[in-house]
Structure 1
Amino acid sequence: MAILLGLLFGTLSLAAWWVLQNYTYWKRRGIPHDPPSILFGNTRELWRSMQLAHIIKRTYFKYKNKIDGPFVGFYLYAMKYIVITDIDFVKTVLVRDFEKFHDRGVYHNERDDPLTNNLATIEGEKWKNLRQKLTPTFTPGKMKNMFPTVLNVGDELIRVIDEKISSSPQTLEVTELVARFTADVIGICAFGLECNSLRDPTAEFVRMGYSALRERRHGWLVDLLIFGAPKLAVKLGFQFLLPPVQEFYMKIVRDSIEYRIKNKVTRNDLMDLLIDLKLKYDSGDRQSGLTFNEVAAQVFTFFLAGFEAGSTTMGFALYELACNQDVQEKVRTEVDTVLGKHNGKLDYDSMQEMNYLEKVIDETLRKHPVVAHLARIATKPFAHSSPKYFIEAGTGVLVPTLAIHHDPEFYPEPEKFIPERFDKEQIEKRPACAFLPFGAGPRNCIGLRLGRMQVMIGMALLIRNFRFDLHPTKTTFPVKYQIKNLLLSSEGGINLNVSKVVRD
């Protein structure tokens, strides 16, 4: 009994020592920080009353210009992080010293949860090699080839809305509608599948997309481990994705690959490139190729990124245009003028001339960045000019995108929607890395061209054909954000009055 009591006392003493050491790290360093709570760190409100991006934003504004260094300390559960408060240091992390901050330090489990082992999560040389293999998929030439495919889906979106408001204007939840548009776009571009989500609100493709993004497999305690100690979670074999989600995406990727190979189908899209890489691996070229699980993981992440980021951006853009009717009219005039010069045809070249629409999209991403913070982890020690502000290897880094986008130093009156902020001369006045909707540096979003293209096509068609107005009771003003999502999205969707544009 004495031995057992001794072991118990020793274990508890060791645990208490670890907790003390861990949660006094920034205090012992003399780095400004908010006092942490045990287990939750500085994120006690996370997914309860605040989203992570808003917690980080609060920290940024609390300490910016009030400290003698470029960052403050932060505890994400039990993990030690910094929150950057100096815009120049953002560039240091994302661009100048990228080789010391190239990993994201987030959960990915190749063995037990293979779809999480994708370009967005993997690390080191493996990430670098995969990025090089996938980059040729997203060249301007490939985008031009994909344009007619995306346009066909856009035309179907217009037909579906036309049918809904054929007799009179209707109040529509626009985020859900455009989510089915982006699901069909990414479905055909990534999987080569006609998903028909626009005609079927219960389509499995959309349902599984929402499940993957918003439903949790575990309770808060396991989530605490997955997000707060991802490497330990992997060692313990925890899985993040729901089993039906894994099974669904694995099956459709396998079926798509088998069908294309058997029937010698080529579409010059993402799936074609991934099949080529898989065939290389199967023929013995493991250096240049990819396994089936690796192929499935990349398709999965491209679908989720294009589906959620694209639809959420379009939903917020329509909301802002409904709030700012003068901006909506200016966009509509530009779209009509450009298409008038091109015989009414929307194509890749005419899209390039819609400069004001592009500014509207940028201002939407500025005000409502879907990815509202960026995470990195120091893979090597970083020495700062001020010795106090060194960064140990293994320390997490949080770039407060939402806070930077709402900082009046860079964007005066940040709550106002002003597309002219993205006039060339205005952009040149701002420091580098003051606009980060797609990240920056070598690890920026690889699919940003496709993402922007689908949003441009969708928005041009929608604004040309329909007018969007606020509903006096159903539209939430100002917009409320979903607390339990990691990405920025509207709570309860965005309800707008939609009517046909009447032309003389």
Structure 2
Amino acid sequence: MLEKTDGSLLLQVLILPGLALLACYAYYSVVYSYWKKRGVKHPKPIAPFGNFAKGIFYSNPSVIANNLYKELDGEKYGGLYSFNKPILMLRDPELIKEVMVKDFGRFYGRGIAPNEDIEPLQGHLFALSGSKWRNLRVKLTPTFTSGKMKMMFPTMVQTGKELQEYLKTPAGKQEVLEVKDLLARYSTDIIASCAFGIKCNCLKEPNAEFRVWGRKLFQLSLKSRALRFINLLMPSLMRIFKVSLFPQDVSKYFRGMVKDTVEYREANNIHRNDFMQLMIQLKNKTLGIEEDDPLIKMPIKEINGLKSNEPFEITMDVIAAQAFVFFAAGFETSSTTMTFCLYELACNPDIQARVRKEIDSMLKKHDGQITYEGVLEMEYLDKVVNETLRKYPPVPLLTRECAQTTKLAGTDLVVEKGTQIMLPVMALQRDPKHFPNPHKFDPERFGEEEKKKRHPFSYIPFGEGPRLCIGMRFGLMQTKVGLISVLSNNEVQVSEKTPVPLVFDYKSFILSTKGGMWLKFVKRSDKVAA
């Protein structure tokens, strides 16, 4: 009897796992036939990860997206799988234009499902979709118009002067500095002041409290990586157990800071020319709308399902979420752009010399001062920054989600509701079809004649259409003021510690290099007096 029982148990031990494996095989065979049935070319997926197995190890998706983009060479689009979810990658700029602009009403979401009940800071403009996003976008538009930008411009210039002062000693000694952290401290000082009304002096105090919390945002622990993996595989579990991907101590810090700032200003009738003041005016319904946003210009009837009359109140948590994303997106992306720009200028001294010459000319014209109008006049610096964003887009991948089953214009493909759309920004901007010799740093690609030769949607570092980055002008101005502040008095050069060629750190969500970015700073000997 015992022998029979043992034999039966052994049989179960052998058969049950086999049946489970067979069931998994059958399931994924069906799931991974989705694109084949539709006649869409697709790289071979690996169960259960699909085409994103490396995503377990890499936080930055660009390395995976770039490889998949190349595998689909010659195609206008291709099919991918993230675990069991089908994803459509668009490679053709005209199709990208269709999704981002022409047929925006069917592709207005990013496919992010924020849960503000679990984490209020998730309720920011970048993550929201539908009517809530539309109404918040309209309300936030006044905070980033040209007029409001000019209000915040003096803060950028003052912080630029502090950066110049900081560099005097090391440049005088021709020292080699790690520029990524230095420039992150510069941009943190600006945004802390503009978004939160806080003077944190990160340039003088590298471990200032605000900077420490800023670092924590992009330092993923083992626990954070595990939660992100679970969220990709089974997002419903995160909602059932009310688990947030966001570090609770970081959330508590930022929400508390915003609450204290708003209450202090209102109690003491304090007004400042910054983003926080504009948010307070929105909360109190004392801020008008300036109609220079592409969303406002688009007739509401063209945006399917996005109602304009749903009530939407600016609460303390809404303010905290917008201030938080302004900070998180602004300081890291701008400092990353400046870092890569200085690297390319160090590697291309002829281009750097031309930039410095334009800076000298602008300062001479404006009595030695960095002015808002003066920065806008600098055409060559604009080309240099654009070329940096082409080669090193801080956000190398954008997403959209199909809100309504629709036939993709110019194709026979019907995209089903809920399908994720991938827009491979970095791969597109490094495609030799659109940018010949793409690894060469050439600002003249952004001359008017050269721009006419290529499709405008082959270059989309800030997105496009109604979901164009609302803080684009702020980010570009902050970046340009920082570069002017550095290069007006200094030369940047490669050193023995400079990574040539670059090695990217794909464990970082924002595009960055392994081991930091080390450049030599030398006080200018050719500076022309203003």
- TM-score interval, smaller chain: over 0.9
What is the match of residue 306 of structure 1? 330
What is the match of residue 453 of structure 1? 477
Alpha carbons of 1:188 and 1:51: their partners in 2 closer, same or farther (altered >3 Å)? Answer: closer
Alpha carbons of 1:288 and 1:106: their partners in 2 closer, same or farther (altered >3 Å)? Answer: closer
What is the match of residue 184 of structure 1? 189
Cα deviation, residue 106, structure 1:
2.0
Give the secondary-structure state (helix, strand or coil) at the position aligned to 2:354.
helix
What is the match of residue 37 of structure 1? 46
Alpha carbons of 1:279 and 1:10: their partners in 2 closer, same or farther (altered >3 Å)? Answer: farther
Give the secondary-structure state (helix, strand or coil) at the position aligned to 1:332.
helix
Q: Equivalents in 1 of 2:426, 2:91: separation in Å? A: 12
- Conserved in 1, the CA contact under 8 Å of 2:77 and 2:91? yes
Asked if 1:21 is matched to 2:21, the reply is no
Alpha carbons of 1:343 and 1:385: their partners in 2 closer, same or farther (altered >3 Å)? Answer: closer
Show the 5 A alignment for 1:478-489.
478-489=501-512
Asked if 1:403 is matched to 2:427, the reply is yes
- Conserved in 2, the CA contact under 8 Å of 1:107 and 1:227? no
Q: Equivalents in 2 of 1:164, 1:32: separation in Å? A: 54
Q: Equivalents in 2 of 1:104, 1:50: separation in Å? A: 18
Shifted more, 420-429 versus 122-131: the winner is 420-429
- Conserved in 2, the CA contact under 8 Å of 1:216 and 1:241? no
- The one-letter amino acid paired with 1:64 is D
Alpha carbons of 1:11 and 1:304: their partners in 2 closer, same or farther (altered >3 Å)? Answer: same
Q: 1:414-434: per-residue Cα shift (whole Å, max 9, x none)?
A: 000000111111112211211
- The one-letter amino acid paired with 1:248 is Y
Q: Equivalents in 2 of 1:429, 1:386: separation in Å? A: 22
Q: 1:160-193: per-residue Cα shift (whole Å, max 9, x none)?
A: 1113344x11000011101000001010000011
Among 168, 174, 181, which residue is 1:169 paired with?
174
Asked if 1:111 is matched to 2:117, the reply is yes
Identity of aligned residues (%): 38
What is the match of residue 283 of structure 2? 278
Q: Equivalents in 1 of 2:231, 2:217: separation in Å? A: 16
Among 373, 376, 380, which residue is 1:352 paired with?
376
- Conserved in 1, the CA contact under 8 Å of 2:86 and 2:420? yes
Among 141, 150, 158, which residue is 2:156 paired with?
150
Show the 5 A alignment for 1:245-394.
245-279=250-284, 287-384=311-408, 388-394=412-418
- The one-letter amino acid paired with 1:104 is R
Cα deviation, residue 294, structure 1:
1.4
What is the match of residue 90 of structure 2? 84
Among 484, 500, 523, which residue is 1:477 paired with?
500
Shifted more, 55-64 versus 173-182: the winner is 55-64
Structure 1 stretches lacking a partner, 5+ long: none
Give the TM-score, by structure 2 length.
0.88
Give the secondary-structure state (helix, strand or coil) at the position aligned to 1:262.
helix
What is the match of residue 128 of structure 1? 134
What is the match of residue 7 of structure 2? none
Give the TM-score, by structure 1 length.
0.92
Show the 5 A alignment for 1:218-233.
218=223, 220-230=225-235, 233=238
Q: 1:262-319: per-residue Cα shift (whole Å, max 9, x none)?
A: 11111132111222333459xxx99352122111111100001111000000000000
- Conserved in 1, the CA contact under 8 Å of 2:58 and 2:508? no
Which has the larger Rg?
A: 2
RMSD of Structure 2 on Structure 1 (CA):
2.5
- Conserved in 2, the CA contact under 8 Å of 1:466 and 1:501? yes
Q: Equivalents in 1 of 2:25, 2:243: separation in Å? A: 25
- Conserved in 1, the CA contact under 8 Å of 2:98 and 2:409? no
Cα deviation, residue 12, structure 1:
8.6
Show the 5 A alignment for 1:50-65.
51-65=60-74
Alpha carbons of 1:16 and 1:407: their partners in 2 closer, same or farther (altered >3 Å)? Answer: closer
Give the secondary-structure state (helix, strand or coil) at the position aligned to 1:351.
helix
Cα deviation, residue 387, structure 1:
6.8
- The one-letter amino acid paired with 1:361 is V
Alignment: residue pair count: 493
Q: Equivalents in 1 of 2:212, 2:206: separation in Å? A: 9
Structure 2 stretches lacking a partner, 5+ long: 1-11, 287-308
Q: Equivalents in 2 of 1:236, 1:15: separation in Å? A: 25
Q: Equivalents in 1 of 2:433, 2:186: separation in Å? A: 37
- Conserved in 1, the CA contact under 8 Å of 2:174 and 2:522? yes
- The one-letter amino acid paired with 2:377 is E
- Conserved in 2, the CA contact under 8 Å of 1:216 and 1:242? no
Q: Equivalents in 1 of 2:412, 2:17: separation in Å? A: 38
